[in-house]
Amino acid sequence: MDHSFRSDAPLYPQIAAWLKRAIVDGAFPAGERLPSIRELALRLSVTPNTLQRALQLLESEGLIYTERTNGKFVTGDGARLAKLREELLRGQVRTLADDLRRCGYTKEEVIVCLAAEWEK
């Protein structure tokens, strides 16, 4: 999994976004244990404190939970995961749509192009 974070904005929300994406793409499957904070921090080259703060954000959003001695797990709640999937899609499409609209493309042009790319 590739990652690079912008340093002109707080890191922990970017790490949280990276973790969410990893949950959606199946790298961290539903109901399974996450790697330890230490391991994730090393993998992402950030401090354990920053990683911890990102995990707290995910926990507050109900995407992960802590088992006292076993570590942190991805939620098994299908409805919550479906919502996350939806949020990720909307977020990505919004960014794309905003950018292309600014460049003057029409909705029809974009949809035709997207459909063609999808088939490749």
Partner 1 sequence: MSGCGMGEMTMAVSARGLAASYGKRDALRGVSLDAPSGSITALCGANGSGKTTLCKVLAGLIQPRRGEARILGRTDTWAAKADVCYHSARPFFEPGQSVLGLARETARLRARYDLPLCQALLERFAIPGDERLGALSKGRLALAMFCVSLAQDARVYLLDEPFGGIDLKTRDQMREALLARVDEGRAFLVCTHELGEMEGLFDRLVVLREGKTICEGWADDLREEHGCSLADLLRGFL
Q: Measured in whole angstroms, how far is the alpha carbon of residue 66 from the centre of its chain?
A: 19
Report d(CA 88, CA 86) in Å as an integer: 5
58 near partner 1, judged by CB under 8 A: no
Residue number with CB closer to partner 1 (5 or 28): 5
Residue number with CB closer to partner 1 (45 or 70): 45
Question: How far is the CA of 8 from the CAs of 11, 14, 38, in angstroms?
Answer: 9, 11, 24
Contact of 24 with 88, CB cutoff 8 Å: yes
Q: Please state the closest distance from residue 32 (CB atom) to partner 1, in A.
A: 24
Residue number with CB closer to partner 1 (30 or 52): 52
Interface residue with partner 1 among 34, 40, 44, 58 (CB under 8 A) is 44
